[in-house]
Homo-oligomer: A and B are copies of this chain.
Amino acid sequence: MVSNFSDQKIIDSWEKNVEPWVLSVREGEIQSRVLVTNHAIVDVVLAEKPKTVLDIGCGEGWLVRELAAAGVDTLGIDAIPALIASAEKAGGGRFKVLPIEHLSSQTLGETYDALVCNFSLLGKECVDQLFQLAPSLLKEGGSIIVQTVHPSMGGGEGYEDAWREESWVGFNRQFSDPAPWYFRTLESWVALFSRADLKFVSLREPRHPETGFPVSIIFVGMKVSEHVDICR
């Protein structure tokens, strides 16, 4: 029996919602993505001028296709086989079924100029694991770029790290078996970077063009082995 609030439950639930999700993304039905956050993540990634990118939790693959079209060699990975199947069917990039738990530079046989996680860090332990792994997946000076729900815009559910239930509010299509997600405070997000010895470089707050308030937050960290470059 899988707990209602666990990393495994997220996978189980998303496996049941692949079809409405793929259609929601591809038909441009999620307003905040179309208006704000899709452009925002592409801009931040391209500003880092990476040659190679790993898109962690790539879903049906739109960001991989965008980056590949801009000339960036991008691999998309996701834990859900049906999402990767859908990504491969659309083409325009490299894709692989790979849950964070099995992620390593050995499994992948390469390292990257940038890791991107676009609204894909939904879990608890697996996110802690990912940050511990991240430096080993990055080339020296490489970036980790994370877009997620803005912690301060979460509203009235309290302000502490905790599991929450996805409501699927704002989606047109029929979703079932809501996936849980693990809420982190701003303080906790920033601490993930420092615990992993990733230099916290910047923070962006993409804003809704009408309300003027942030609809998401983007963190950029960097792998800096402070000892290397200088003494050679």
Residues of A within 8 A of B (CB): 150-153, 158-160, 185-187, 190-191, 194, 199-205, 207, 212-214, 217, 224, 226-227, 230-231
- B191 to A202, Cβ gap below 8 A? yes
Min Cβ gap A188→B in Å is 9
Report B-chain residues with C-beta under 8 Å of the C-beta of A150: 152
Contacting residue for A207 out of B152, B159, B231, CB 8 A: B159
Give CA–CA (A31, B203) in the complex, Å.
Answer: 31
- A212 to B159, Cβ gap below 8 A? yes
Contacting residue for A202 out of B159, B190, B231, CB 8 A: B190
Give CA–CA (A214, B212) in the complex, Å.
Answer: 22
Q: How many copies does the complex hold?
A: 2
Report B-chain residues with C-beta under 8 Å of the C-beta of A194: 201-202
Contacting residue for A186 out of B158, B200, B203, B212, CB 8 A: B203
A218 closest partner in B (C-beta) = B187
Min Cβ gap A162→B in Å is 11
Known: A159-B213, A190-B203. 19 other contacts (CB 8 A): A152-B152, A152-B153, A152-B186, A158-B212, A159-B205, A159-B207, A159-B212, A159-B214, A160-B207, A160-B212, A185-B214, A187-B205, A190-B200, A194-B201, A199-B199, A226-B226, A226-B230, A227-B230, A230-B231
Among A187, A204, A231, chain B packs the most CB atoms within 10 A around the CB of A187
Among A201, A203, A214, chain B packs the most CB atoms within 10 A around the CB of A203
Give CA–CA (A200, B194) in the complex, Å.
Answer: 9
Give CA–CA (A31, B13) in the complex, Å.
Answer: 45
Report B-chain residues with C-beta under 8 Å of the C-beta of A226: 224, 226, 230
Report B-chain residues with C-beta under 8 Å of the C-beta of A204: 187
A208 closest partner in B (C-beta) = B159
A207 closest partner in B (C-beta) = B159
- A205 to B231, Cβ gap below 8 A? no
Q: What are 21 residue pairs bridging A and B, where the CB atoms are less than 8 Å apart in the complex? A: A150-B152, A152-B152, A159-B205, A159-B207, A159-B212, A160-B207, A160-B212, A185-B205, A185-B214, A186-B186, A186-B203, A186-B217, A187-B202, A187-B204, A191-B202, A194-B201, A199-B199, A224-B226, A226-B226, A226-B230, A227-B230
